[in-house]
Amino acid sequence: MHPTGYPFNPITMNHQNLEIERKFLVTGPFKHLATRHYEIRQGYICSRPEKTVRVRTKGAKAYLTIKGVPDATGTTRFEWETEIAVNDAHQLLQLCDTGLIEKVRYLVPFKDHTFEVDEFFGQNVGLIMAEVELTNYTEKVDLPPWIGAEVTNDARYYNSALAQNPFTLWPTKP
């Protein structure tokens, strides 16, 4: 562990490979504000606390993504992603652990940021979350009125966790 509390050195790491984001539950209407939306299906080839390997189809494109462990704040982690052929993604999805994530992502601009709002389906139906990407973990963000509780540091809301323990099976809902 780096002395800053990161599991990596954020100063020497290529910042293009850092994902810095906050996550929130959505409590109000937002779809009418979206500028775009697309369907996403994703599965996990590897889903461990220290790393995940994800295959995703997103609209007409597909990606392979590797993510590292989040830092102590839950906002920052290593992320490497590359576009792959959609046919390859469909084959790789067959190799994934059980529990595919199915959702529609809406892009909703608000002030200086664009919120990515995911409406989940399948075994996670009923869950709607928003993410906002940041340039650094201390960046201030104005929140729209339809944003609810922050869940950035709650591992239950990671997509990899939702694939293994779907929202519809939680004994109590937020």
What digits encode the pLDDT tens for the residues 95-108? 998 889 999 999 99
The confidence score (pLDDT) of residue 16 equals 60
- Mean pLDDT for the stretch of residues 143-159: 96
Q: Please give the model's pTM, rounded to 2 decimal places.
A: 0.87
Indicate whether 11 pLDDT > 50. no
- Mean pLDDT for the stretch of residues 78-98: 94
Domains of the chain (ranges; CATH) run 15-161 (2.40.320.10)
Structure tokens at 149: 């509780």
The yes-or-no answer on residue 44 being catalytic is yes
* 36-65 per-position pLDDT tens digit: 999 999 999 998 878 999 999 999 999 999
- Mean pLDDT for the stretch of residues 140-156: 96
pLDDT band at residue 10 using 50, 70 and 90 as cut-offs: very low
Residue 144 or residue 174, greater confidence: 144
Among residues 119, 101, 96, 84, the alpha carbon closest in space to that of 47 is found at 96
Residue 7 or residue 68, greater confidence: 68
Q: Which of 6, 38, 44, 63 is catalytic?
A: 44
